[in-house]
Amino acid sequence: MRPDLYRRADGSLPPQMVLHLPNEMMAAQVEKNVSTLRLWTPLLEELGYIDARPHYTTMTTPGGQRIPVIDGTLYAICLQPGHKAKLTYQDLSAQYRNLDEDRLAGRTAYRVVQRAEKLGQQETANAENANRVLDGEKNMRGSTASPMKAQYLREQLKAWAVTPGQVQDPLFADPRIFSPDELEEAVRTVQDVIYLLPAVAESEANKRAALVGILGTALAHALDDDHSQRWYCKAIWNAWNAEVEGRGGLQVLAAQLARLDVDRHEWGSLKRPAALLNARLRAA
């Protein structure tokens, strides 16, 4: 994705670069489905070449409610030998697009892929009409020819990657509202929970309990403290009740979770993370 554009004034590359990308376009470009990309990601993460996380934001439903959605994937990509790619809190908390405006303007990855498919169909039809075999030359060893579909996708994806936030072409993934099962699969880390905590206050009443259960379970797994899963759920409910009463409970919980996450990485392990978090919440 043109790492040369990230060079410093002295010509050197930084340790890593961070890109916000729509997975639908990435998958279409390499002619794989999104599930395949998800299988590849942990292999590259284990090697330290990338660090990938879903990016969360909010959008407005037709009924006027603000709900949490995943608007794409953030990739930290290693540029220097020996460096392990790592996304920062600033990377994950930044807002990269306005989903409501993108959808209104039709700037979606779905439309890009649709347009690419039409170009591919048109190219195939033209080739058949001219009695030519389209793939024969393309697949020859050393051939650099590219179908219109692949060319178009490559240019669109490159533009998105090197110009984050650009709004000229439709280059944004349609937000997908995850079902509880899908959301449970996506929320894996303490940071993931932190970014979704505001959604507890914004979610519909009939969906709040499921969301709290998912976040509490994710915390228990991430902190290797499964026997405290019910306590984590209770802590989130208490934070939400404080929020309803105007005391900023979710913000306080998010701050203490961020502090706990830093501590557990610096200390190596925490034997009783729930007890430590409880003490800090009482003192906050």
Q: What is the mean pLDDT of the chain?
A: 75
> 49 falls in which pLDDT band (50, 70, 90)?
very high
Higher pLDDT, 172 or 226: 226
Q: Which residues pair with 168 in a beta bridge?
A: none
Q: Which of 23-37, 136-150, 198-212, 227-241 has the highest average model confidence (pLDDT)?
A: 227-241
Q: What is the model's pLDDT at position 147?
A: 56
Instruction: Give tens-digit pLDDT for 266-281.
Output: 777 778 899 999 999 9
For 214-257, the pLDDT digits (tens) are 999 999 999 999 999 999 999 999 999 998 888 878 888 988 99
Stated pTM of the model: 0.46
Confidence of residue 160 (pLDDT cuts 50, 70, 90): low
Closest CA to 190 of 99, 143, 257, 145: 257
Q: Which pLDDT value is given to residue 213? A: 93
Q: What is the pLDDT of residue 187?
A: 79
Q: What is the mean pLDDT of residues 74-91?
A: 89
- Span 175-179, average pLDDT: 42
Extract the tokens encoding 273.
Answer: 């993370």
Q: CA distances (Å), 236 to each of 183, 221, 244, in order? A: 17, 15, 12
- The predicted structure's pLDDT at residue 126: 57
Q: 281 vs 26, 69, 119, 255, 262, CA distance in Å?
A: 42, 28, 57, 10, 16
**Residue pair 193/92 in contact by the 8 Å Cβ criterion:** no
Beta-carbon contacts of 157 under 8 Å, excluding residues fewer than 6 positions away, are 21, 25, 26, 29, 171
Q: How confident is the model at residue 182 (pLDDT cuts 50, 70, 90)?
A: low
- Separation of alpha carbons 143 and 43, rounded Å: 29
Average pLDDT rounded to a whole number, residues 28-41: 79
pLDDT at 142 over 60: no
| 188-196: average pLDDT | 81
Whether 3 has a pLDDT exceeding 70, the answer reads no
pLDDT of residue 143: 33
Residue 40 has pLDDT above 50, yes or no: yes
Top-confidence residue, 154 or 279: 279
Greater pLDDT, 146 or 197? 197
Asked if pLDDT for residue 84 goes beyond 90, the answer is yes
How sure is the predictor about 173, in pLDDT bands with cuts at 50, 70 and 90?
A: very low
- Whether pLDDT at 113 is above 90: no
